[in-house]
């Protein structure tokens, strides 16, 4: 009987860390594997903040969920690839019309990130773009992570992206948010 208790305790000690990891990550795949619904579910759960760095955002359902979250008082910041400012299918214009502060990455390469942080407590990342094509046709993946250390790293990266991106030219709320170096270098969109 004693050896059975020892065996059980050893197994518990061995498997306990694995159980914690399993609780920190949820996995989804597309096409039609629940990725979009998982994103919308996280948006609905958010109570205070959502920070989004997304290469391509054209899903009407996700954009509408973001608007509903904003209407209930959730503060939402969005950084998109600069190509999204003129892309016809992009929901950036729709979000701006609903009062969102949208920024575009200024780098020479693509802003190819696909992540969002909800209330600083959960993180969505993976290859899944927030598009209907990604949901219905592409082979994509999505992870929901609740590990604090991982989320902290993504929060740092989001702040970097936010601070080095420019507001949408249609977003009058963001005109005073241009960094001084951008105004003096490019002389664009600045109020001075």
Count Cα atoms within 13 angstroms, Cβ side, for 153.
Answer: 7
Q: Which of 81, 105, 114, 168 is catalytic?
A: 114
Q: Which of 112, 153, 173, 176 is catalytic?
A: 112
Name residues whose C-beta falls within 8 Å of residue 48's C-beta, 6 or more positions apart in sequence. 74, 75, 119
Q: How far apart are CA 88 and CA 110, in angstroms?
A: 18
Query: Cα angle vertex 26, ends 150, 11, to 5°?
Result: 85
Cα separations (Å) of 143 from 85, 116, 123? 27, 11, 8
Reply yes or no on whether 119 is catalytic.
yes
Q: How far apart are CA 21 and CA 63, in angstroms?
A: 31
Burial of 171 (C-beta count, 10 Å sphere; 0-12/13-18/19+): buried
Reply yes or no on whether 112 is catalytic.
yes
Q: Which of 61, 119, 147, 155 is catalytic?
A: 119
Q: How far apart are CA 126 and CA 149, in angstroms?
A: 17
Reply yes or no on whether 187 is catalytic.
no
Catalytic residue numbers read: 112, 114, 119
């Amino acid at each position: 009987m004693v050896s059975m208790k020892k065996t059980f305790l050893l197994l518990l000690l061995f498997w306990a860390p694995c159980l914690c990891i399993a609780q920190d990550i949820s996995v989804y795949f597309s096409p039609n594997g629940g990725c979009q619904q998982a994103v919308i579910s996280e948006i609905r759960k958010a109570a205070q903040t959502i920070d989004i760095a997304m290469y391509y955002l054209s899903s009407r359902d996700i954009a509408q969920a973001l608007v509903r979250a904003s209407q209930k008082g959730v503060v939402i910041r969005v950084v998109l690839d600069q190509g999204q400012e003129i892309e016809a299918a992009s929901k950036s214009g729709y979000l701006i019309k609903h009062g969102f502060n949208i920024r575009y990455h200024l780098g020479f390469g693509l802003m190819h990130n696909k992540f969002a942080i909800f209330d600083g407590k959960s993180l969505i990342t993976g290859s899944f773009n927030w598009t209907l094509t990604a949901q219905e046709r592409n082979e994509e993946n999505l992870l929901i992570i609740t590990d604090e250390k991982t989320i902290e790293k993504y929060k740092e990266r989001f702040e970097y992206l936010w601070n080095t991106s420019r507001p949408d030219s249609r977003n009058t709320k963001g005109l005073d948010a241009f960094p001084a170096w951008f105004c003096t270098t490019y002389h664009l969109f600045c109020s001075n």
